[in-house]
Chain A
Amino acid sequence: MRYTLEIQKLLNQAEELAIHPKDKVKYYLKAIYLADENDDVEWAFDLRISLLDTEWGLADRQHFIPTFTWLLDAYDQNPDLFDAEELLWKYKWIIDEVYSNPDVSLEQTEDILADFKRRIEEHGYGLRAYYTKRLHEALDQKDIEKTQEYLALVNGIPRDNLSDCQACEMDTEVMTLLNGGNFHAGYEKAQPLLAKQYTCAHVPLVTHCNLTYHAIINKEEEIAAQQFKYAEEALAEREDESSLIRSIGQLIVYLFHANKALAWQYVERYLPWNLESDRNRSFFFAKYMVEGLRLENELERITLQLPSEHPLYNAGNSYLIGDLYKYYHSTAINLGEQFDVRNGNSNFINQIIA
């Protein structure tokens, strides 16, 4: 059983407080390799769950789908060995990931949703979690009609252990109102979240970001400034969570309205996160960059340290704002088209404000 000791050592390293989540991922992968090598399915299962937990905070979730595919197979082959609720919770994350990849066809997505639905029903849960997934996608597509439809379905079913936490559910309702153009109703709805009556890993941080963005485009400068301040404070606690890049895009739009110098600092600081994001996050980040950059003079040059992997990178660190705008505009169009082709509509492209 020497390998279990080796796995434990790797876990100790992975659980060090201040190591970067990407380093944690490396340790988990190594431990998974050992567990698989020694045919220890229980260890392999638990370690893969930890791997998912760690990658959840990252924009780069390259192991998400292969890992969960294995988990689902392992569960089906040994249903008595593992906790179904844990697995179904992770399934919810996976559905987001599947929606975020336009190369996954609608048919494949529907198969996966049907599988999820079947499993939650078999285990005696209600369909609230299932409709919440559809609601989130409708929100991403800014499809007001479907959003209302799914919100009604979600609220028609009682909460259970697979439901999103109350903070997340309330944040979704706030999003629904903001997306529907009801800023003040959304702001009102968000009050319990802003007072931190309900919190979770990313709420109210993402709520602050949403409100900052919608406040500034609704010309509520004071609310935007206040929400930005809270968002920035909450962000300081989550310095390595690159999965937040989409929300940061919203803050960048605000900053191009309110504090251009800080906007460029944000762009410089957070662009590396975007480079490793999935296409959904990349679409929204590009869309927000377009909204921010269009407030700038496209003929001006800016000194900016882009990551060397960035397609526009040059060693001189000097960029024409117009070039940056064109790049993000074409990125948003390109990604939006990919999603729209998959979805058979124009909901993503319609969200780009040029």
Chain B
Amino acid sequence: MDNAQQSYIFQVNLKGMISLLSEHLYSNPSTFVRELLQNGVDAITAIRSLDEGHQGNLQVYLNEETKETIFEDNGIGLTEEEIHKFIAVIGESSKREAFDTNDFIGKFGIGLLSCFVVSNEIVLETRSAMGGNALRWTGKSDGTYQIETVKNDRGIGTKVILQPKKEWVHLFSLSALEKNLRYYGDLLPISITLQTERERISINKDTGKWLSDDCSKEELLELGKNTFHTNFIDAFKIQSDSGKLTAIAYILPYKTQFSGKQAHKLYLKRMFLSEDDCKLLPRWAFFIRCIINTDGLSATASRESLMINDQLKASQKEIAQSIKDYLKTIGLVDPAIYHKLISTHYLHLKAIAAEDLDLLRVFINDLPFETNKGVRNFKNIKAYQHTVYYTPNIDDFKQLRRIAESQGLLVVNAAYTFEEDLLKKIQRIDPSLTIEEISPAHLLKSFQDLDASLESDYQHFIDHANKTLRELQCVCSVKHFQPADIPAIYIGSSMNHGSQNSSIKNSSNNPLTATLGAFSGQKKESKPQLCFNANNKLVQAAFTIKDEYVINSILHILYVQSLLLGKYPVSDIEMNLFNEALHNMLIMGIDNFINI
């Protein structure tokens, strides 16, 4: 037996391969428009390396009746050898090796296959600038192709003829084709025309001026309006050397959330690539939409996004820096835009400033914060009082708002984590300021205790209140505080895990229960507190009531009222207690109630 090992070659099911590449690689059936435009542009780029002055153009002919569509370019054309090599070998990397491949948009040798999504047959007629006869290549989606010589004397260049499949015929209406040609080709530097028997439409006349010229701001804004149908606040240009990238950044005129992504227009060598920013923009740039062209970055195989490589990362950094530079200087350049920017996008600006001290220094005084005295900018806040108090969560803020007001305090609502970070960083920039967190419990401590002489009078009331409200896990106290019209204030527990009000009770079989103490640390959970206001007339009157039935009802009413005042949720049990208490009051007679 011969010991020599025999090598075999993998067999490829060509039909399956074509189907795989043509139907599954691309997410959009209109991709063939981009691929054919791209082949045309590459062919013209190639001939320009032989003849710099060559006036390239791309013509698309549509027979509106039969829907036969022809894409024709006056580029370099293909020789028979090139047809065998580039068109018929799937995966043959790169275009014409004789030329600098960086000049070409495509490079995977699979673009033409996208035509098989919409057409069962591709006819390509070509005549090469390198000489030889004009040729016709006919490829079929079953993987076979023929080449024949064409007798009529056609010019140098290539045309691709498609007969649409029935199911894709709608892509070959005049309006659909025009739309797709504009979508992909509106920035291409080579003239594209769409021609039917009736009319001739120019697709990309005078586009791309912004890439080279110093366009005025008005022109940039006009372009933004036409592209995104939005009247932007401002526009500015961005350059990145790493990605050979030029962009126009537009500032949105309306507030945006931290969710969702903005649609952009991203071009690669002036061919439309994606509406996604492909990670070029910093993650905080929710308030910006961009038109971007890059000549230096690379596309993925499907040419629907950019490859993430060192160049792209360097571009990301340069773009982020350009946006920050803009933000740092816009106040000097145009104060009106600066103020509009702040009033519209202050949330995002705060998030950026929390990460960038230089930017924070620029914006610090003008950044608005919600306070218990309305929205105020930071300059105003620090002028109001030496110590800037803030609450790190919205619930505390809601609760503190009114009481702080009555104490003459200004409290900032730092509901987002970055707002708290921002305040801490402001403290760092300006050590003369004192910025302190404040909580309802903190405020409770600042309330004035009762005189020892009075306390004994109220002891009965407090004992009773604690007993009555024990089932609601609430601890009661009485203090003097303003405003006098608030009978009681409810301070929720620290909500470390919010399980006090849960019907699920700790089981002694649960081995984790024993460890809870080890994890509470400094953050010992506090029980909810109800602090009655000794300045309040109703409370003062309640102290004198001895009737258990009446006092219980009043305590339940005050308890639920304080929940509502503090914007706490009221459970069914609590609402029932409240209703029952009111019912009791009715039974006892409204006159008696008034006489209390």
Which A residues form the contact surface with B (CB < 8 A)? 3, 6, 15-20, 22-23, 26, 29-30, 32-34, 36-39, 41, 44, 48, 62-70, 72-74, 76-77, 94, 98, 101, 103-104, 108, 111-112, 114-115, 233, 236, 239, 305, 307-308, 315
Residues in A whose Cβ lies below 8 Å from that of B276: none
Q: List 11 A-B contacts (CB under 8 A).
A: A16-B259, A18-B283, A18-B351, A22-B417, A41-B502, A62-B523, A69-B497, A70-B502, A73-B510, A76-B510, A103-B518
Cβ 8 A contact of B424, one of A74, A77, A98, A307: A307
B475-533 interface with A by 8 A CB criterion: 495-499, 501-507, 509-519, 521, 523
A62 touching B496, Cβ below 8 Å: yes
A67 touching B497, Cβ below 8 Å: yes
A69 touching B498, Cβ below 8 Å: no
Given contacts A19-B416, A36-B503, A94-B512, 10 further A-B contacts (CB under 8 A): A18-B284, A18-B286, A23-B415, A32-B497, A32-B498, A34-B569, A36-B501, A38-B572, A65-B512, A69-B516
Whether A23 contacts B572 in the complex (CB less than 8 A), given A30-B395, A112-B515, comes out as no
A108 touching B499, Cβ below 8 Å: no
B7 at the A interface (CB under 8 A): no
A17 touching B258, Cβ below 8 Å: yes
Query: Bound complex: CA of A325 vs CA of B180, how far in Å?
Result: 64
Residues in A whose Cβ lies below 8 Å from that of B504: 41, 44, 70, 73-74, 77
Closest chain-A Cβ to B590's Cβ sits at a distance in Å of: 30
B258 touching A18, Cβ below 8 Å: yes
A115 touching B501, Cβ below 8 Å: no
B255 at the A interface (CB under 8 A): no
Residues in B whose Cβ lies below 8 Å from that of A16: 257-259
Query: Bound complex: CA of A156 vs CA of B441, how far in Å?
Result: 55
B15 at the A interface (CB under 8 A): no
Closest chain-B Cβ to A7's Cβ sits at a distance in Å of: 10
B84 at the A interface (CB under 8 A): no
B519 touching A29, Cβ below 8 Å: no
B509 touching A101, Cβ below 8 Å: no
Closest chain-A Cβ to B173's Cβ sits at a distance in Å of: 37
A72 touching B502, Cβ below 8 Å: no
* Cβ-closest chain A residue relative to B503: A39
* Cβ-closest chain B residue relative to A20: B417
Query: Bound complex: CA of A233 vs CA of B572, how far in Å?
Result: 52
Cβ 8 A contact of B502, one of A36, A76, A308: A36
Cβ 8 A contact of B511, one of A15, A44, A108: A108
Interface residues as binary, B147-181 with A (CB distance below 8 Å gives 1, 0 otherwise): 00000000000000000000000000000000000
Residue among B283, B417, B506, B509 with most chain A CB within 10 A: B417
B416 touching A69, Cβ below 8 Å: no
A19 touching B258, Cβ below 8 Å: yes
B428 at the A interface (CB under 8 A): yes
* Cβ-closest chain A residue relative to B351: A18
B498 touching A112, Cβ below 8 Å: no
A63 touching B417, Cβ below 8 Å: no
A73 touching B431, Cβ below 8 Å: no
A23 touching B416, Cβ below 8 Å: yes
Residues in A whose Cβ lies below 8 Å from that of B417: 20, 22-23
A3 touching B418, Cβ below 8 Å: no
Query: Bound complex: CA of A18 vs CA of B498, how far in Å?
Result: 25
Closest chain-A Cβ to B279's Cβ sits at a distance in Å of: 10
Closest chain-A Cβ to B459's Cβ sits at a distance in Å of: 31
Closest chain-A Cβ to B274's Cβ sits at a distance in Å of: 18
Query: Bound complex: CA of A94 vs CA of B515, how far in Å?
Result: 11
Closest chain-B Cβ to A115's Cβ sits at a distance in Å of: 5
Cβ 8 A contact of A72, one of B395, B427, B510, B517: B510
B515 touching A108, Cβ below 8 Å: yes
B497 touching A66, Cβ below 8 Å: yes
Query: Bound complex: CA of A37 vs CA of B501, how far in Å?
Result: 6
B571 at the A interface (CB under 8 A): yes
A101 touching B259, Cβ below 8 Å: no
B467 at the A interface (CB under 8 A): no
* Cβ-closest chain A residue relative to B495: A29
Residues in B whose Cβ lies below 8 Å from that of A19: 258, 416
Query: Bound complex: CA of A111 vs CA of B511, how far in Å?
Result: 6
B428 touching A308, Cβ below 8 Å: yes
Closest chain-B Cβ to A28's Cβ sits at a distance in Å of: 9
Closest chain-B Cβ to A302's Cβ sits at a distance in Å of: 16
Query: Bound complex: CA of A170 vs CA of B279, how far in Å?
Result: 30
Closest chain-A Cβ to B252's Cβ sits at a distance in Å of: 15
* Cβ-closest chain B residue relative to A78: B504
Residues in B whose Cβ lies below 8 Å from that of A103: 517-518
B93 at the A interface (CB under 8 A): no
